[in-house]
Structure 1
Amino acid sequence: MKRKVIAYNLELTEALEKLDDQFKVQIFDSINPKTDPAFLEALKDAEGIVGLALPVDQELLDRAPKLKIVSNNSTGYNNLSIEVMSKRGVMGTNTPGVLEDTTADAIFGILLASARRIAELDHFVKSGNWQGHLTTAEYAIDVHHKTLGIIGMGKIGSAIAKRAHLGFDMDILYHNRTRNLEAEEKYHATYCNLDTLLKESDFVCLMTPLTPETENLIGEREFKLMKKSCIFVNGSRGKTVDETALIEALEQKEIHGAALDVYQIEPVKKGHPLLQFPNVVTTPHIGSSTYETELKMAELAVENLRAGLTGKLPKNLINPEVLN
């Protein structure tokens, strides 16, 4: 009898074909993992889980006594209770090194879209409001030769800095837990404290992982420090920003606008206040959402899972302490 594996919100099922020879794969999509009876039944015999954004906590682990590995189909893994998993002997893996360029394209893209009012003016044309030459009411702002402040200069932050500096002649300020000497050398990035970055940047781009230290990192105080001409860009996680403070900053015109790919609660409900601002670009967490990149991530997630279930060391093991 084949061993059981659960695939959760993994749409690219062609990546799962490599498991067919040894494992019985049960696929679940768009279900409530707390209440779905078929999912809860499958947990009883599942040895592995591969997928996206499944909350793996004590409750789920109690329902999955045979579980050996959870393979996250993402770089982030804040949905995994790593400490609890390690105590239970359950490996956790992720998929780094795949999505950096794709995500940087998307985040710099929404920065451009906000500055040049691309989505807003697309609607302007399609609504039949373009009757002649543009007036100052339709003018946008330049991106080139401005200052971009990046909070979180990891691989994606560095890829954004590359596009900004080499492509748009932007000056780069950055704030990070540690210095990124490569970014300083290649893109002339200047390391500074957070307050200096907020005060001096024309664009503030938040790219930190979500941790207890970064939750609500940007709030009322931080928005007040930004230039009134500043555009705020969030490509990290929704909970790194106090959305109430962001809404107030937009209402009070403390900042010029925003470009958001992530939100505190996803998907965003239709009546959310952030959706009412014409100067806010909103995309549905598209960072890595190209077919090529999503397939690479899914294949790596499956590779990690297969390794963990066949006695090999997964390439991207998050909690090596579990081996002890």
Structure 2
Amino acid sequence: MRATTKKVSLNVVSYSYYERSEFLIVFYMFALRKLYNNKNMTKLIYITRAIPEVGIQIMKDNGYIVDIGSTDDAPSKDELIKTLSQKPYDALVSFLTDSIDKEIFDACPTIKIVAQYAVGFNNINLEDAKERNIVITNTPGCSSRAVAEHAVALMLSLTTRATEGDEYIRSGKFTGWMPGLLNGVDLTGKTIGILGGGAIGQEVASILHFGFNCPIIYSDVKENIFLKEKIGATFMDKESLLKQSDIVTLHVPLLPTTKHLINKDTFSLMKKEAFLINTSRGPVIDEVALVEALKNGVIKGAGLDVFEFEPAITAGLEDIPDVVLTPHIASSRASVRAEMAKIVGQNVVNFFEKGVALNEASC
């Protein structure tokens, strides 16, 4: 008898082009994953830009293969998608400048964890990650003191007019001492209004309360025990805080509820001699309204380390004398960057080796 064979065919006709393509991508990535596991028995990590070696070494010490983006510039989304589609990476180390969402996860469906090299993570679509059971981690705490010191430095730059003085000399205007030249105001004793009583807000309060004898008032979703008991700060609603503060400093995350937290209406509540400080996230302030408020004398000045349309600067900000601008460097200390890298490495290793996500981010 002749042996007969039964032909089995996959009915792929019923699937759309996009469904078949997605299936093939997933199949390809998992086939590569199996190949890598058989050869290396290790994890593949992709870092979009270089971080301090301490974090990379933590991963390498556990046998992980670490690939790093080739430039210091932020990759475009298309570039990142192209790179991630070439290997079955297990983990992605991302920056605030990287847009992480469904398209990224589609390009590399083997990703299990995104370890953000930052405290904030508003560049990551948490819902897209949740749908695929991808864990998101961040690096909280290590930059709090540095950011707080920078916020106070912006206050001092405005009250002492130090940056104006620097420009005055560099432009060749200085001809000798004059008693009325660039008179500033005292920071000591000023009422400081803190919007956001988290780790950074608490550090700011400590510096100004103990170092400058400043009364501290603050507003947050709930009362803070440290600010109440250690600082003697007064808890109040946002509107009352804006009316009473000589300096308002922002330390809130960027959420739908905090976007344009400071706007045309809130500027009208502030003192005419008030300064506004932002080292949190740019879109917390409506910068078009800020420019108008400054030009019209609604408030005195502003110190900004972050910007609504970063890296673009809102038209008019650079032309106002009572404005100090720094290029998102509040946490830019070698010690802070190294600690952030260390936390990233620990987050990745702990997740794979112990099955526990350290510093897991949440909405």
- Is the structural similarity TM-score above 0.5? yes
5+ residue gaps, structure 1, are none
Relative to structure 1, the CA distance from residue 145 to residue 223 in structure 2 (aligned partners, 3 Å threshold; closer, same or farther) is same
Match of 2:60 among 11, 14, 20: 20
Structure 2 Cα separation of the partners of residues 83 and 227 of structure 1: 40
**Which residue among 158, 164, 170 is the counterpart of 2:208?**
164
Query: Of 120, 136, 159, which aligns to 1:92?
Result: 136
Secondary structure of 2:90's aligned partner: strand
1:7, 1:50 within 8 Å by CA — same for their partners in 2?
yes
Computed over aligned residues only, the root mean square deviation of the Cα atoms, in angstroms, reads 1.9
2:149 corresponds to 1:109: no
Q: Are 1:139 and 2:183 an aligned pair?
A: yes
What whole-Å deviation, never above 9, does each CA across 1:28-62 have from its counterpart, x for those lacking one?
A: 14243422178534565111011311221111111
Between 32-41 and 170-179, the greater mean CA deviation after superposition: 32-41
> How do 1:98-247 and structure 2 match up within 5 A?
98-247=142-291
Q: Determine the C-alpha separation between the residues in 1 that align with 2:86 and 2:350.
A: 20
Q: Separation in 1 of the partners of 2:320 and 2:156?
A: 17
Rate the CA distance shift 1:291–1:43 in 2: closer, same or farther, 3 A.
farther
Confirm or deny: 8 A CA contact 1:44 1:65 kept in the other structure. Answer: no
**Identical pairs, percent:** 32
* 1:11 lines up with 2:51 in the alignment: yes
Cα distance in 2 for residues equivalent to 1:198 and 1:47: 47
Correspondence for 2:296? 252
Q: Which has the larger radius of gyration?
A: 2
Count of paired positions = 319
How many Å apart are 1:188 and its aligned residue? 1.4
- Structure 2 SS opposite 1:35: helix
Q: What TM-score do the two structures reach when normalised by structure 1?
A: 0.93
Matched residue, 1:273: 316
2:184 alignment partner AA: A
Q: Deviations over 1:109-142 (max 9, x none)?
A: 1111111111111111232322122353511111
Worse overlay, 4-13 or 53-62: 4-13
Structure with bigger RCO (C-alpha 8 Å, 6+ apart): 1
2:334 to 291, 296, 313: 291
1:282 aligns with 2:282: no
Judging changes above 3 Å, is the alpha-carbon distance between structure 1 residues 43 and 221 closer, same or farther for their aligned structure 2 residues? farther
**Which runs of at least 4 in structure 1 moved beyond 4 Å after TM superposition?**
41-44
Aligned residue identity for 1:273: G
d(CA) in 2 for partners of 1:38, 1:150? 40
Contact 2:351 2:358 (C-alpha < 8 Å) held by counterparts: no
Structure 2: gaps spanning 5 or more residues: 1-39
Check whether the contact 1:50–1:302 (CA below 8 A) recurs between aligned residues: no
CA offsets 1:245-303 (integer angstroms, 9 cap, x no match): 0000011011110000100122235x842112121000111121100011001110111
Structure 2: which amino acid aligns with 1:306? V
2:128 is paired with a residue whose SS is: helix
Deviations 1:83-104 (A, max 9, x none): 2212201111011121111111
Which secondary structure does the structure 2 equivalent of 1:40 belong to? Answer: helix
- Matched-pair contact (CA < 8 Å) for 1:68–1:308: no
Asked if structure 2 preserves the Cα contact closer than 8 Å seen for 1:55 and 1:79, the reply is yes
Alpha-carbon distance change, 137 to 227 in structure 1, aligned in 2, over 3 angstroms? farther
Question: Deviation string for 1:171-204 (max 9, x for gaps)?
Answer: 1110100001221121111011111111111001
